[in-house]
């Protein structure tokens, strides 16, 4: 757990401990965070974006460094503000096993627990606020233009890292309908089935870049 605010760091640590997680270390700066990760090799690291010394993007750079050095460790980045470019940088460089949430979401500890579980399992997690901001941005040639409204809804939930079951429950549709939408999305985005590429992640990246 890395955050320069002792109160926030300790508060979230206690909430996660109560939820059944084992918080094995806390850091107030990126260097201490990297040292803890290197020595303890946790399942996941929770990182604030703005940390000492400049309080700009030290946490983001530390998160990218952790993923390069320890690709099996999930990383959940927290931000005080909606900063889409930071989320894009994080997800585009490390599409699996990373997440970006607004600190306001920490009010609901279940959301944070779910996000941690998902990054640990190699899934991307994107705050719904980021998804909404990206949906509001339009370009002249948008690769998503061929998608139906419902397919866009499904892809937006995929971008949040939701499973087919979660999408089914959120949109009140059947499992077969979810599978059909996902299949159509991959086909319309031109994502062919290959042994080396994770098409679902590629679809999310296309959505974020669009």
Give me 165's structure tokens.
Answer: 């079951």
Cα 112 from Cα 42, distance rounded (Å): 17
pLDDT range class, residue 195, cuts 50, 70, 90: low
Cα 56 from Cα 116, distance rounded (Å): 24
Cα 42 from Cα 9, distance rounded (Å): 17
Cα 102 from Cα 163, distance rounded (Å): 21
Cα 210 from Cα 205, distance rounded (Å): 8
pLDDT tens digits for 147-169?
888 999 999 999 888 899 999 99
- Tell the burial category of 117 from Cβ atoms under 10 Å away from its Cβ (0-12, 13-18, 19+): middle
Residue carrying the six token digits 């296309």: 206
Q: Are residues 78 and 174 in the same domain?
A: no
pLDDT at residue 135, rounded to an integer: 60
CATH number of the domain that residue 117 is part of: 3.40.50.2300
Asked if the model's pLDDT at residue 45 lies above 90, the reply is: yes
Residue that is last in its domain, among 93, 125, 157: 125
pLDDT range class, residue 1, cuts 50, 70, 90: very high
Q: Are residues 144 and 105 in the same domain?
A: no
Report the percentage of the chain scoring pLDDT > 90.
46
- The total of structural domains in the chain comes to 2
- List the 44-48 sheet strands across, edge first: 44-48, 74-79, 98-102, 125-126
Q: Are residues 170 and 85 in the same domain?
A: no
Residue range(s) defining the domain that contains residue 33 = 6-125
Question: Does residue 1 belong to any structural domain of this protein?
Answer: no
Cα 129 from Cα 160, distance rounded (Å): 10
Q: Are residues 152 and 88 in the same domain?
A: no
pLDDT range class, residue 194, cuts 50, 70, 90: low
pTM: 0.65
CA atoms within 13 A on the CB side of 45: 34
pLDDT at residue 199, rounded to an integer: 76
pLDDT range class, residue 50, cuts 50, 70, 90: confident
Q: Are residues 164 and 96 in the same domain?
A: no
Mean pLDDT, residues 60-65 taken together: 90
pLDDT tens digits for 99-150?
888 888 777 788 899 999 999 999 888 887 776 666 666 544 577 878 888 9
Q: Are residues 110 and 200 in the same domain?
A: no
Q: Are residues 10 and 101 in the same domain?
A: yes
pLDDT range class, residue 54, cuts 50, 70, 90: confident
Q: Are residues 116 and 51 in the same domain?
A: yes
Q: Are residues 168 and 99 in the same domain?
A: no
pLDDT at residue 102, rounded to an integer: 87
pLDDT range class, residue 41, cuts 50, 70, 90: very high
Phi, psi for residue 66 in degrees, rounded to 5: -60, -45
pLDDT range class, residue 35, cuts 50, 70, 90: very high
pLDDT at residue 201, rounded to an integer: 78
Higher confidence at residue 42 or residue 79? Answer: 42
Q: Are residues 121 and 171 in the same domain?
A: no
Residue carrying the six token digits 């948008």: 142
CATH number of the domain that residue 202 is part of: 1.10.10.10
Closest-CA residue to 54 (of 30, 75, 38, 73): 30
| Pairing between β-strand 44-48 and β-strand 98-102 as defined by DSSP bridges | unpaired
Question: Does residue 101 belong to any structural domain of this protein?
Answer: yes
pLDDT tens digits for 66-105?
988 999 999 999 988 777 777 777 777 666 788 888 888 7
């Amino acid at each position: 757990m890395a955050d320069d605010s002792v109160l926030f760091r300790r508060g979230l640590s206690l909430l996660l401990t109560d939820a059944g997680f084992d918080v094995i270390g806390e850091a107030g700066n990126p260097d201490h965070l990297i040292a803890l990760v290197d020595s303890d090799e946790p399942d996941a690291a929770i990182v604030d974006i703005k940390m000492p010394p400049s309080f700009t993007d030290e946490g983001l750079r530390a998160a990218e460094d952790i993923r390069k050095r320890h690709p099996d460790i999930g990383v959940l980045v927290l931000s005080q503000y909606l900063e889409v470019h930071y989320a894009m940088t994080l997800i585009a460089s490390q599409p699996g096993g990373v997440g970006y949430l607004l600190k306001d979401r920490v009010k609901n500890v279940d959301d944070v627990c779910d996000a941690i579980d998902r990054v640990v399992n190699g899934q991307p997690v994107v705050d719904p606020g980021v998804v909404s901001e990206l949906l509001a941005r339009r370009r002249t040639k948008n690769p998503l233009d061929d998608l139906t409204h419902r397919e866009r809804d499904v892809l937006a939930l995929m971008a949040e890292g939701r499973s087919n079951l979660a999408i089914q429950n959120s949109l009140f549709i059947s499992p077969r309908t979810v599978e059909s939408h996902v299949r159509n999305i991959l086909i319309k985005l031109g994502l062919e089935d290959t042994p080396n590429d994770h098409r679902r992640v590629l679809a999310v990246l296309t959505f974020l870049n669009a």
